[in-house]
Chain A
Amino acid sequence: MLARPIALLIAILPAFACAQEATALVTVPALTPVAVRLEELISSNKNRPGDRFRITVAEDVRVGDALVIPAGSPGEGEVIHAAKSGAGGKAGELILAARYVRVGDFEVRLRSFALGVVGKDQAANSLAASMIIGPFAMFVKGGVITVPPATLGKAKTALEFNLPAIVPSTPAPAEQSVESIKGEDDVSKVD
């Protein structure tokens, strides 16, 4: 009685599942830009080299029409260098790196992190005098350097990755602002 439907399932499912997987993988080239948002306050006086901090993806990353890294994907950064401001006019120093973002079970390595180069940087006013944009996110300032949560930055994918497309063929929006991401109502978001 049960033998026939079970045999049918066994015959059909592998082909169906693997065919779906083969078409769903999208190659994300190395050095693809990824806009990221800091989720924690970082301070040159409190943080130390090696400290880890939370980041999230600020804007959807698409390859063609395929969404591969949705906004809101969590990740991690690292404090590379932190030096307190000191006597004799020694400036505070801070160098940060974005390490990776997680898309479902996949970990996408990042490199070349620079802060303050994306859209509406909420830290721009307070840090404009001290922030210098280069191949890494760094700050040099006379006093204590404090990078507030929600500061935006830009990193790049470190290597070429194969990621499953989250929305197969939805046209990309013209320019997604940070405010539109805050709604958290993106149905394609992967946790």
Chain B
Amino acid sequence: MYRKLINAGIAALVLTPCVTLSNDNATSPAPAADAATGATGTVVFFREKKMMGAAISYKVRENGVELCKLGSGSFCTVQVPVGKHAYVTKTEATDVLNMEVDPGETYYVQASISMGVVAGHSNLAPSTREVFDGMKAKLKDNTGKDLDPPKDKK
């Protein structure tokens, strides 16, 4: 009995370092690791050509920085860092789309405008490549156009 206990104790002591080592090998790096490497993904913002709200254009912003100006029948392609993003549009009402970008992936965001009192309500919604490809021929590429430079924070 005494001998068994000693043997079991020794076995446990000897095995422990190896288990710890394999744990270290498989532990996930921190979620911010991808962002730290400078990896990017692509976000395509597009707005279908429609009569309703055609006179109204609006901008997509993140943290106050203008990324894209969307009129009726236009699109922008934006390279963004990997990680979480919050894209904002504002007309009569403000709409926020939260997204998470993985490295090398392309995401599609469809912009639209719905009935409002004065200028309508802008909206950003997740979409797909299939939807974008279906209307791309009728859309104008507005990437990097009509954007104000970022304001200096003093």
Chain A residues at the B interface, C-beta cutoff of 8 Å: 2, 5-6, 9-10, 13-14, 17-18, 21, 25, 49, 80-81, 83, 88-91, 93, 95, 97, 100, 105-109, 111-112, 132-136, 138, 140, 158-159, 161-164
**Chain B residues near A13 (CB, 8 Å)?**
10-11, 14-15
Q: Please tell me if B140 contacts chain A, counting CB pairs below 8 Å.
A: no
Chain B residues at the A interface, C-beta cutoff of 8 Å: 3, 6-7, 10-11, 14-15, 18-19, 21-23, 25-29, 31, 33-34, 84, 97-100, 102, 105-108, 114-116, 121, 123, 125-129, 131
Q: Count the A-B residue pairs with Cβ separation under 8 angstroms: how many?
A: 108
Known contacts A21-B21, A107-B28; A134/B7 CB under 8 A:
no
Which secondary structure dominates where chain B touches chain A? mixed
B28 lies within 8 A of A159 (CB): yes
Known contacts A88-B121, A159-B29; A164/B22 CB under 8 A:
yes
A81 lies within 8 A of B99 (CB): yes
**Nearest CB on A from B98, distance (A):** 4
Known contacts A6-B10, A49-B98; A25/B25 CB under 8 A:
yes
Q: Which of B11, B18, B97, B128 contacts A134 (CB 8 A)?
A: B128
CA distance A91 to B131 in the complex (A): 16
The 8 lowest CB-CB distance pairs between A and B, nearest first, are A81-B98, A138-B126, A88-B114, A135-B105, A106-B26, A109-B28, A13-B14, A162-B25
